[in-house]
């Protein structure tokens, strides 16, 4: 989907279960206006918010071709993590380095005081989003998913997003869950140059793919858990994104549940897995107000609607049970 939205985000977009392209959403931002004039103006504008701020960035040598990934034997990655000042990073980008540089999700309010105030999305203020800057040159990040909903705003350069719905996970050939470049598991398919001999099911994923190319000022709403690969297409590229969850703050990430399921369920005999599937369907996936209606309210315990206090108590019980 796409929409022209210079006046703001349409109300229905933030509830969408499909990606939505928002052309020109942030074209009025000073950050975008500076980038439209020149890369030099963009870099100078960004410097004014803390050029001596020290930042963690990724560096890939020219031989990786801009693709951040694993090394050949999957014991590590094909890039290094380094600490640099914002000034040093901008100088290297401006000089046209042959290395691939990538400043990943960096919280704007703490790293660049004032930048978020001048480049804001009032439509999201009530969601209290986590706002981050992403900065680098030409590079490619593998398809991954994020738990929060996301509005990604391109502020400099061009970016191409390749998206797949959550149900395509089996066709994306996901890599290790416990050795990941940035915390989220990634697809092992090079979406810019897919190898169909090695990854034949990826052809089916492509039937469900949605691709968008964003210019400075454009934004993309990415629903929770949609897989998305990202390519930066210019020598200076920057993005500001807004993450928020449509769930209470006390809820833990479901990835913890997946890890526990691997530990406790996956290797059970098939009949026992089926029995646990029925319990999960009853208490989790198909749960409604009737699930515990037959239990007196005072005795429902963790079957009652969760709140901050009951979540804290349950977390303590789980932590105690995991000590062995």
Per-residue pLDDT tens for 118-164?
999 999 999 999 999 999 999 999 999 999 999 999 999 999 999 99
Q: Which two tokens stand for residue 288?
A: 């409604």
Q: Which two tokens stand for residue 301?
A: 């315990």
d(CA 168, CA 210): 12
Q: What are phi and psi of 49, to 5 degrees?
A: -105, 15
Same domain for 150 and 26: yes
> CB within 8 A of 79, min separation 6: which ones?
58, 59, 60, 64, 68, 100, 102
Q: What are phi and psi of 43, to 5 degrees?
A: -65, -40
d(CA 167, CA 151): 21
Summarize the confidence of residues 206-221 as an average pLDDT. 98
Same domain for 258 and 240: no
Same domain for 120 and 262: no
Summarize the confidence of residues 211-237 as an average pLDDT. 97
Same domain for 224 and 281: no
Give the count of alpha carbons within 13 A of 288, CB side only: 2
Q: What are phi and psi of 63, to 5 degrees?
A: -70, -15
Interval 254-286: pLDDT, tens: 999 999 999 999 999 999 999 999 999 999 999
d(CA 9, CA 27): 13
Residue 101 inside a domain? The answer is yes
Same domain for 179 and 229: yes
In DSSP terms, 82 is beta-bridged to 57
Same domain for 89 and 8: yes
Same domain for 162 and 29: yes
Task: Give 284: exposed, middle or buried? Use CB within 10 Å, 0-12, 13-18, 19+.
Answer: exposed
d(CA 224, CA 10): 18
For the four alpha carbons of 232, 123, 166 and 312, in that order, the dihedral sign comes to: positive
Would you list the DSSP string of 142-172?
EEE--SSEEEEEEEES-EEEEEE-GGGGGGS
Query: Tell me, what DSSP letter sits at residue 178?
Result: S
For the four alpha carbons of 6, 8, 10 and 15, in that order, the dihedral sign comes to: positive
d(CA 303, CA 283): 8
- What pLDDT sits at residue 102? 97
Residue 249 inside a domain? The answer is no
Same domain for 25 and 114: yes
- What pLDDT sits at residue 200? 98
- What pLDDT sits at residue 324? 75
d(CA 79, CA 101): 9
Same domain for 229 and 188: yes
Same domain for 134 and 51: yes
d(CA 219, CA 110): 23
Given a cut of 90, is residue 90 above it in pLDDT? Answer: yes
- What pLDDT sits at residue 249? 86
Q: Which two tokens stand for residue 207?
A: 């039937």
Summarize the confidence of residues 15-22 as an average pLDDT. 96
d(CA 99, CA 96): 9
pLDDT over 90, % of the chain: 92
Residue 265 inside a domain? The answer is yes
Given a cut of 70, is residue 213 above it in pLDDT? Answer: yes
- What pLDDT sits at residue 122? 94
Given a cut of 60, is residue 31 above it in pLDDT? Answer: yes
3-state helix, strand, coil in the chain (%, to 5): 30, 25, 40
Given a cut of 90, is residue 5 above it in pLDDT? Answer: no
Q: Which two tokens stand for residue 302?
A: 């963790």
Given a cut of 80, is residue 4 above it in pLDDT? Answer: no
Given a cut of 90, is residue 225 above it in pLDDT? Answer: yes
Same domain for 233 and 156: yes
- What pLDDT sits at residue 140? 97
Would you list the DSSP string of 249-264?
TTPPPHHHHHHHHHHH
Q: Confidence band (pLDDT; 50, 70, 90) for 2?
A: low
User: What's the mean pLDDT when you consider all of the chain?
Assistant: 95
Give the count of alpha carbons within 13 A of 211, CB side only: 10
Q: Which residue, 244, 277, 292, sits at the end of a domain?
A: 244
Q: Which two tokens stand for residue 95?
A: 């000089």
Same domain for 198 and 166: yes
Summarize the confidence of residues 51-66 as an average pLDDT. 96
The CATH number for 171's domain is: 2.60.120.650
- What pLDDT sits at residue 11? 84
Interval 111-129: pLDDT, tens: 999 999 999 999 999 999 9
Domain interval for residue 99 = 2-244
Q: Confidence band (pLDDT; 50, 70, 90) for 7?
A: low
- Comparing 5-19, 168-182, 225-239, 260-274, which segment has the lowest mean pLDDT? 5-19
Q: How many structural domains are present in the chain?
A: 2
d(CA 206, CA 164): 8
Q: Confidence band (pLDDT; 50, 70, 90) for 190?
A: very high
Given a cut of 70, is residue 174 above it in pLDDT? Answer: yes
Interval 277-324: pLDDT, tens: 999 999 999 999 999 999 999 999 999 999 999 999 999 999 999 887
Residue 201 inside a domain? The answer is yes
């Amino acid at each position: 989907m796409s929409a022209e939205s210079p006046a703001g985000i349409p109300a229905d977009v933030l509830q969408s279960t499909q990606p939505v392209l928002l052309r020109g959403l942030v074209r009025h931002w000073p950050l975008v206006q500076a980038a439209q004039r020149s890369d030099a103006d963009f870099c100078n504008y960004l410097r004014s918010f803390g050029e001596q701020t020290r930042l963690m960035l990724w560096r890939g040598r020219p031989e990786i071709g801009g693709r951040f990934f694993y090394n050949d034997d999957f014991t590590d990655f094909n890039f290094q993590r380094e600490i640099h000042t914002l000034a040093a990073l901008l100088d290297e980008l401006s000089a046209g380095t042959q290395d691939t540089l990538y400043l990943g999700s960096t919280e704007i309010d703490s790293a660049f005081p004032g930048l978020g105030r001048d480049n804001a999305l009032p439509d999201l203020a009530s969601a209290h989003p986590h706002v981050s800057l992403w900065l680098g040159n030409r590079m490619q990040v593998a398809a991954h998913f994020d738990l929060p909903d996301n509005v990604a705003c391109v502020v400099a350069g061009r970016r191409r997003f390749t998206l797949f719905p959550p149900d395509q996970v089996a066709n994306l050939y996901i890599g290790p869950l416990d050795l990941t470049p940035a915390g989220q598991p990634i697809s092992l398919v090079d979406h810019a140059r897919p190898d169909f001999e090695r990854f034949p099911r990826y052809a089916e994923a492509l039937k469900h793919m949605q691709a968008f190319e964003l210019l400075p000022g454009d934004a993309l709403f990415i629903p929770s858990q949609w897989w998305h690969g990202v390519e930066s297409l210019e020598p200076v590229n920057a993005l500001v994104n807004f993450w928020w969850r449509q769930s209470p703050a006390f809820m833990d990430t479901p990835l913890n549940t997946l890890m526990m399921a691997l530990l406790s369920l996956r290797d059970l005999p098939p009949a026992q897995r089926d029995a646990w599937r029925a319990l999960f369907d009853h208490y989790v996936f198909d749960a409604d107000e009737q699930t515990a209606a037959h239990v007196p309210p005072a005795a429902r315990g963790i079957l009652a609607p969760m709140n901050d206090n009951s979540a804290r108590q349950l977390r303590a019980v789980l932590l105690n049970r995991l000590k062995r």
